[in-house]
Structures are given as structure tokens and as C-alpha cells.
């Protein structure tokens, strides 16, 4: 069961609407959805909140240490409340997924994400991650500039759509039904099957039959005409 949900991002008005703060956007949505309020806690180096789910306290954390020091806040709160790595869900922006896409994952590397890197350094890599797609600039040299900029209105709507998908699956994630959620989120949409065009005879068998009968009648008339001509020819000889 998940007992701690961490939303990664950078603090301050300058960064609040940037792509790198997608994890915080979702954390705020969770707080709103479950009636929790976030407030500053110095000993946890961040904004914290809490709500109950199935009689269990679920804690929320937004590390305000800046992204590359996120692990300090996560280890401080998890140690204090004796929360294990596998009971932690980290929400973060993901370059390798398109806006509107979310994926659930456990373990693995940091993939160049400084927030994940620091959490792994302070804790380990056995926590769960909800990866929120923000897209990729197409050039690795532009990544830093890309994540620290605001998305377009169209991209923002798509990212928020992905967050809504994550919210829909959150109860199952909290309950620990991870494989079920992974299967659902990783499922590719099925392509619609193209209808096979029937043959003309299959489309209107009666019309086809009429055509055949008409052709047979015309053939008979032709044979009859030829026969008459041949008979006339014989008579003149």
C-alpha cells in the first residue's frame, strides 16, 4: 500500500508553470480531490499534507529544496513516519512520453532526472514512479531549457489530461494493485478494423441474378437470330 506521495518540482512562482513541475501539478490535484491542504514543514524541507484512505494516513510531500535535492525531503519524512521505499509513489515529468500519457513503474534508474537521481542517492530505487509525459524537444542539448519552460496551451491541456488519467487510477495504486494499473496504462489503444468490401454479387444477389438472366436471354435471342439467318441463307441456295 502507498503511504507517501511525492510530487517533484522546483519551488517559486518562476517555476510553478514549467514542464518540470508536472509532478507538483498532479500533487495539487490529488490534494484538491481528497480534501488535503499543503503547508510548510521545515523539518521535512517541503510542503506536506495528509488525507485518509481506507483508514490509512496517506501523506503528501512537495520538496521545496529545488529538484536536485529532493531526496533530502523524502528521506526526512519517510524516516520520521517509518515509511518503506515500496510504500512511496513519486510523481514526476517524463521526457520519453508524449503529453497526455502516463505510466506506472517500480525501480530502475533515474534516466537523467535530477530529482529521481537524488532520491535514489538518499534512499534506494525501489519506490514507485508515476511518469507524466511532457514530450521531448528532439535535441538532448535543449532538454534543460525545454523542461524549465512553460508548455504551450495545447501541451498543457494534454499534460493535464494525463494527470486526470493518473487520478483515475490512484485508488488502485494506493491499494497496491500495481500490476493491474500497469497493464491498463501500458495498454496500447486498438486500431479500428477496416471493413472488408463485399463483392457485387454479395451486395445485391437479386440484382446479380437478374443480370445473369438478362445475359442468358440476350444470348438466346442472338442464337435464334443467327439460326434464322442461316435458314434464310439455305432457302436462297
pLDDT digits (tens, 9 = 90+) for 217-231: 554 454 455 444 444
**Confidence band (pLDDT; 50, 70, 90) for 237?**
very low
Q: Would residue 92 show up in a list of annotated catalytic residues for this protein?
A: no
pLDDT digits (tens, 9 = 90+) for 39-57: 999 999 999 999 999 999 9
pLDDT digits (tens, 9 = 90+) for 103-140: 999 998 998 899 999 999 999 999 999 999 999 999 99
pLDDT value of position 201: 46
pLDDT value of position 40: 96
Q: Is the pLDDT of residue 196 over 60?
A: no
Percent of the chain with pLDDT over 90: 75
Q: What is the mean pLDDT of residues 180-184?
A: 95
**Confidence band (pLDDT; 50, 70, 90) for 186?**
confident
Q: What is the mean pLDDT of residues 192-200?
A: 57
Q: What is the mean pLDDT of residues 144-148?
A: 96
Q: Is the pLDDT of residue 215 over 70?
A: no
Q: What is the mean pLDDT of residues 184-193?
A: 71
Phi, psi of 142 (to 5 degrees): -105, 0
pLDDT value of position 102: 97
**Confidence band (pLDDT; 50, 70, 90) for 234?**
very low
Mean pLDDT score of the chain:
86
DSSP codes of every residue in the chain: ---EEEE----STTTTTSGGGHHHHHHHHHHHHTT---EEEGGGTEEEEEEEETTEEEEEEEE-S-GGGHHHHHHHHHHHTT--GGGEEEEEEETTS-TT-EEEEES---TT-HHHHHHHHHS-S-SEEEEEE----S-GGGHHHHHTSPPPHHHHHHHHHHHHHHHHHHHHHHHT-HHHHHHHHTPPPPPPPPPPPPPHHHH-HHHHHHHHHHHHHHHHHHHHHHHHHHHHHHHH-
Lowest mean pLDDT of 47-56, 98-107, 160-169, 200-209, name the range. Answer: 200-209
Amino acid at each position: 500500500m502507498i503511504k507517501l506521495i511525492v510530487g517533484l518540482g522546483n519551488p517559486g512562482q518562476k517555476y510553478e508553470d514549467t514542464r518540470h513541475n508536472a509532478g507538483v501539478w498532479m500533487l495539487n490535484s490529488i490534494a484538491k480531490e481528497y480534501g488535503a491542504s499543503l503547508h510548510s514543514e521545515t523539518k521535512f524541507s517541503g510542503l506536506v499534507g495528509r488525507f485518509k484512505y481506507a483508514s490509512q494516513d496517506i501523506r503528501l510531500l512537495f520538496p521545496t529544496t529545488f529538484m536536485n535535492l529532493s531526496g533530502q525531503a523524502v528521506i526526512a519524512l519517510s524516516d520520521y513516519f517509518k515509511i518503506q521505499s515500496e510504500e512511496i509513489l513519486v510523481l514526476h515529468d517524463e521526457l520519453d512520453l508524449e503529453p497526455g500519457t502516463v505510466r506506472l513503474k517500480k525501480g530502475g534508474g533515474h534516466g537523467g532526472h535530477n530529482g529521481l537521481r537524488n532520491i535514489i542517492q538518499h534512499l534506494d530505487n525501489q519506490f514507485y514512479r508515476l511518469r507524466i509525459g511532457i514530450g521531448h524537444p528532439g535535441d538532448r542539448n535543449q532538454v534543460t531549457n525545454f523542461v524549465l519552460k512553460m508548455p504551450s496551451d495545447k501541451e498543457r491541456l494534454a499534460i493535464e489530461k494525463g494527470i486526470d488519467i493518473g487520478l483515475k487510477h490512484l485508488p488502485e495504486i494506493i491499494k497496491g494493485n500495481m500490476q493491474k494499473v500497469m497493464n491498463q496504462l501500458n495498454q496500447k489503444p486498438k486500431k479500428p478494423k477496416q471493413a472488408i468490401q463485399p463483392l457485387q454479387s454479395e451486395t445485391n444477389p437479386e440484382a446479380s441474378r437478374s443480370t445473369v438472366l438478362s445475359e442468358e436471354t440476350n444470348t438466346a435471342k442472338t442464337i435464334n437470330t443467327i439460326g434464322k439467318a442461316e435458314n434464310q441463307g439455305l432457302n436462297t441456295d
